[in-house]
Structures are given as C-alpha cells and as structure tokens.
Amino acid sequence: SFELLEKFRDPELCRKLLDKMRGELTDELRFMEVCGTHTVAIFQSGLRSLLPEKIVHLSGPGCPVCVTHESEVNAFLDLAGNERVILATFGDLMRVPGEGRRNLKKAQADGARIKVVYSPFDTLKLAKENPDALVVFIGVGFETTAPTIAGTMKMARRQGIRNLRVLCFHKTVPTALDALLSDTAINLDGFILPGHVSAIIGTDPYDFIAEKYGKSAVVTGFEPLDILQSLNQMIEWRNTGEAHVANNYTRIVGEHGNPKAMEIMYEVFEPCDALWRGIGMIPGSGLEIRPEWEEFDAKKEFGIVITDGPALKGCKCGDILKGIKQPDECPLFGKACTPADPVGPCMVSTEGSCAAYYKYKLD
Ligand code: SF4
C-alpha cells in the first residue's frame, strides 16, 4: 500500500542510515546494481548525490536493452526488411541503433511492418488478425520476461496459432554476475541484486557470489531505505570479514522465487551460450527454444546465427555494463550522444545508465 511505501521513503530514517554508513565506512565500497529499475531509483530518489564519496555506484548488466548484443540488434533489424514478417516488440527496442545507425523506428517509417506491444500475449491477437504474415516477437530481457513469453507460446499452441515466432535473445542474470566476478579487471565489492528477476528465481542461484568469490550481495527493493539498508549491511559484513547473499526484499521475493514461473520458462526454453554486449560470450547465460517447441523458433525459421561482430564505434556501453567506466567517461556522452540522438543503447533505454546520468546529472 501507499502507506507502506511511504515508510520506505522516510527522510529521517534515510538520514540515520546515511550517518551510520559514514561512521562505519573505512575503505571505498564499490557496489554494482544489476537492474535498470535500481539505476533509475538511485538517481530519481536523489540518493546518488547523498551517498558518501567512498561509496562508488556502478550500473551493471541489468538493462535488458543495453545487454542485447550488437549482432542481435542487427539480426532483428535485418528481419524488419522481410516482407512476410510483422515484427512485434516492446517499445524500448524501437530506437536501439544497429550498424549504420539504423533502427526499428526508421525501418517502420520506411514501410516495415513493426508493432509495439505491451505484453507478449498481444502477439496472439496480432497473429490471428494477420493470417498471411509471420508475426515475430523479439524476446529480449531476463528471467522477468521469459516466463511470460513461454506462457504466450504455450497458449499459441493450445489455440492452434501457427504464424507466431519468437526471436529468442533472453539472458539469465546469475551467469553474467559469475562472468563479471571471474574477470580480474573488474573491481567490485558487492551487488545490489535485482528485485524483479529475483522474484522469479529466488536467492539460491546467487549463493556462489559469497561461496566462490567471497563477496556479498543483497536482493533489494526499489525505495531509498531498501537500498540504504542493503548498502549498510554490505559495509557491516566487510568490516567483520564476512560475505553473505541475503534477501532484503522479502515483501516480494521468496527464497525459492516463483517455482511455477520457472517451470513454465524451462518447459519451453533451455540454457544456451549467449553473447552479451561488451562482455562477449558467456557459456550457459542465454535461453533458447527447446526442440519440442521449434515451430516457434524464429532463428530456425530464418536461419539466424548470432556471431560476435564489431562493437558500435566510439560507444563505451560495454565498459559501462561491466562497471569499468562511468557514462561521463565516454567521450561521446552529452556531445555526439544524447537521449534525443543516441549512439548506444545505454542512452536509448530509460533504464540505461547513460540516459539516467544524462537526465539526473546534467539537469
Ligand atoms: Fe554509448 Fe552514448 Fe553511453 Fe557513450 S554516452 S557509452 S556512446 S550510449
């Protein structure tokens, strides 16, 4: 309820937690959040400017649009030119630039059939209304969206819909964190873990963060108090030489997540290797359509193979997603690259770090 939410925004309590933090911080604490909603929440609430200087905030690979690899973007842009196809997508992919700064919005203006949908289930109606076309849904994002898309495919099969395909570029969060932690060039002390993804997968899949790497990670809600509490907890543990994976968002996230959603997701998808923007190939970090569901597989239908290709010229999104650079360290930031004329996906998506930086720091 609204009242409950207000409690998590209480300025007095926030001040107390900030004071506690200042008192207990000895060294720099470099924390990464792995969820676009956290990126925005930290800026929007004003927290970013209140955090002590020794707290270094990094945005990780938590924005679904931003982690979508350049080759994946080019693949769906190529598909937009296919006359048989109606592409269905969430709105945030419309302006993501591919090779030659083309994007779906421009393709649409040039006559490609592209439909923005609000839920994957909308594609069922679209497919029924256009029996002569192949409706291809672009599936990007994490464990939050994948179960809904799996549910849509199950419903399409039940309804006998034969002209729906899914271009599956889904990725899973824990595998990416493992890849980041194993990279010695990346300097991280802990993670603020995503609320929505964790509501599906629970906390078990993150246990390796403490066990294998000796770092802490806390599943966290999106209000200022949630975030401050988690940061304080990580500072405390570091001071006592401990590392834990904890759940601070118990009002939404259960230890084992949402088993039903996981079951539906893995009934339709199976793990595969996937390319992440800036990070490259991470074994087992993607989801692909199982052979039993291949009648929906757009990659099979169109012979799409994703291979590593050149990064977007000049764009540093990759380094930002890995926590190596901050947006304002990109030479294009605020100059050649702005939300009105974005060069990279981190400036396009409202959940992208460059867009958040631009909106809340340059105002
Ligand atoms: Fe890429 Fe633009 Fe961000 Fe630079 S400012 S990293 S070009 S999105």
Dump pLDDT digits (tens) for 295-340.
Answer: 999 999 999 999 887 777 889 998 999 988 999 999 999 999 999 8
The total number of structural domains that make up the chain: 1
- Average pLDDT (263-273) is 97
Query: Whole-prediction pTM value?
Result: 0.91
In this predicted structure, the answer to whether residue 42 has a pLDDT above a threshold of 50 is yes
Atom of ligand 1 nearest to the CA of 353: 3
In this predicted structure, the answer to whether residue 172 has a pLDDT above a threshold of 60 is yes
What ipTM score was computed for the predicted complex, to two decimals? 0.99
Residue nearest to atom 7 of ligand 1 (CA): 315
Q: Which domain holds residue 145?
A: 1-363
Structure confidence at residue 3 (pLDDT): 64
CA 111 / ligand 1 centre spacing (Å):
28
Reduced to 3 states (helix: H, G, I; strand: E, B; else coil), residue 93 is helix
When pLDDT is cut at 50, 70 and 90, the band that residue 8 belongs to is low
- Please compute, for residue 62, the number of CA atoms within 13 A of its CA located in the half-sphere on the CB side: 24
- Average pLDDT (91-106) is 92
Mutate to test the pocket of ligand 1, among 103, 326, 343 (most ligand atoms within 8 A of CB): 343
Mutate to test the pocket of ligand 1, among 332, 353, 357 (most ligand atoms within 8 A of CB): 332
* Greatest pairwise CA separation for the chain in angstroms: 66
Q: What is the pLDDT of residues 216-235, one digit of tens each?
A: 999 999 998 999 999 999 99
Strand partners, 333: 337
- Average pLDDT (204-221) is 96
Mutate to test the pocket of ligand 1, among 312, 317, 324 (most ligand atoms within 8 A of CB): 317
Q: What is the pLDDT of residues 100-144, one digit of tens each?
A: 889 999 999 999 999 999 999 999 999 999 999 999 999 999 999
Distance CA 167, CA 69 (A): 13
Which residues form ligand 1's pocket by a CB distance below 6 Å?
Answer: 314-317, 320, 327, 330, 332-333, 337, 342-344, 346-347, 354
Atom of ligand 1 nearest to the CA of 316: 6
Structure confidence at residue 363 (pLDDT): 46
Atom of ligand 1 nearest to the CA of 345: 8
In this predicted structure, the answer to whether residue 45 has a pLDDT above a threshold of 90 is no
Return the CATH number at 254.
3.40.50.11740
Reduced to 3 states (helix: H, G, I; strand: E, B; else coil), residue 88 is strand
The burial class, CB within 10 Å (0-12 / 13-18 / 19+), for 89 is buried
Rg (CA), the chain: 21
Tokens 């990725």 label which residue?
171
Mutate to test the pocket of ligand 1, among 347, 357, 359, 362 (most ligand atoms within 8 A of CB): 347
Structure confidence at residue 62 (pLDDT): 87
In this predicted structure, the answer to whether residue 1 has a pLDDT above a threshold of 70 is no
- Average pLDDT (171-183) is 94
- Average pLDDT (174-198) is 92
CA 50 / ligand 1 centre spacing (Å):
25
Tell me how many degrees the CA angle 265-144-113 measures, rounded to the nearest 5.
Answer: 90
Spatial CB neighbours of 311, under 8 Å, sequence gap ≥ 6: 70, 277, 278, 318
CA 343 / ligand 1 centre spacing (Å):
6
Q: What is the pLDDT of residues 340-355, one digit of tens each?
A: 888 888 998 888 899 9
Structure confidence at residue 305 (pLDDT): 93
In this predicted structure, the answer to whether residue 246 has a pLDDT above a threshold of 50 is yes
In this predicted structure, the answer to whether residue 279 has a pLDDT above a threshold of 90 is no
In this predicted structure, the answer to whether residue 73 has a pLDDT above a threshold of 70 is yes
Residue nearest to atom 3 of ligand 1 (CA): 354
Q: What is the mean pLDDT of the chain?
A: 92
In this predicted structure, the answer to whether residue 269 has a pLDDT above a threshold of 90 is yes
Q: What is the pLDDT of residues 49-72, one digit of tens each?
A: 889 999 998 988 988 989 999 999
For helices 11-24 and 224-239, give the axis angle rounded to 10 degrees.
20
